[in-house]
Amino acid sequence: SKFGKIRTCNIVPAPDRGQAECNIALLGITGSGKSALTVKFLTKRFISEYDPNLEDTYTSEEIVDQQPVLVKLMDTADQDGPVNCGRYVTWATAFLVVYSIDNRRSFEGCQQYLDAVTLHTRGIQPKPVLILVGNKLDMERYRQVSKSDGVDLASRYSCLFFEVSACLDFASVQNVFHEAVREARRE
Ligand code: GDP
Ligand code: MG
């Protein structure tokens, strides 16, 4: 037939099934551990020295609850709080707002980020996924932010809340990112 040759000679690409994607931005003041958490999630390893000014985007093919998803991560590096948030507020589906449990100032910084995201996504549907992350759980001895303070802040902004450590087990860190995907899927 007219199409016989085409059928035998061409490999017809599979139709694009529109792979599911989830864009996740990590926000928080310098030193809270955004890059350490990002690297831990991507490599299962804790890298202790990471250029504090480096902002980058990474991609990882993940399987969450037996379903594939292309996770894109933006590891942000703001100098002075959420002043230039245009680059991530429209890009991200989910926001991990990170503080360090041993640093009160980093916790106070989270409120600024939560306010900025809330303000800039007002009226947008679906609502962005917000997750508050208390990092450096291994620094319990030097804790300046109680767990209940974290719970309270999270409930005020309708966030999920987790305490983790970038230098302890991988599964807990992976779970935070996977929860972001699960929440995004629910919307
Ligand atoms: P960022 O500015 O938010 O990207 O923070 P970094 O990821 O660069 O981390 C800042 C500092 O905190 C670095 O010295 C890291 O080694 C350290 N750090 C990050 N996460 C943890 C953690 O979970 N526990 C401890 N003890 N140190 C951490
Ligand atoms: Mg960083």
Q: What is the DSSP string of 127-139?
A: PPEEEEEEE-GGG
Residue 142 gets which letter from DSSP?
G
Give the mutation target among 26, 35, 79, 168 for probing the ligand 1 site: most ligand atoms within 8 A of CB.
Answer: 35
The Cα 1–Cα 35 span in angstroms is: 58
Prediction pTM value: 0.91
For residue 63, the model assigns a pLDDT of: 96
For residue 172, the model assigns a pLDDT of: 98
Token pair belonging to 138: 């291994």
For residue 11, the model assigns a pLDDT of: 46
Helix or strand or coil: residue 139?
Answer: helix
The Cα 92–Cα 75 span in angstroms is: 11
Q: Which atom of ligand 1 is nearest to the CA of 168?
A: 23
| 8 Å CB contact between 117 and 178 | no
| Residue 91 CB neighbours (<10 A) | 13
Sequence-separated (6 or more) residues with CB below 8 Å from residue 179:
131, 160, 162
Provide the ipTM: 0.99
Alpha carbon separation from 151 to 6, 63, 81 (Å, rounded): 61, 28, 22
Q: Is the CB of 136 under 6 A from ligand 1?
A: yes
Q: Is the CB of 103 under 6 A from ligand 1?
A: no
pLDDT tens, per residue, the chain with 187 residues = 444 444 444 444 444 556 799 999 999 999 999 999 999 999 999 998 889 999 999 999 999 999 999 999 999 998 778 888 889 998 999 999 999 999 999 999 999 999 999 999 999 888 999 999 999 999 999 999 999 999 999 999 999 999 999 999 999 999 999 999 999 998 8
Q: Residue of the nearest CA to atom 11 in ligand 1?
A: 31
Give the mutation target among 27, 34, 41, 110 for probing the ligand 1 site: most ligand atoms within 8 A of CB.
Answer: 34
Q: Is the CB of 42 under 6 A from ligand 1?
A: no
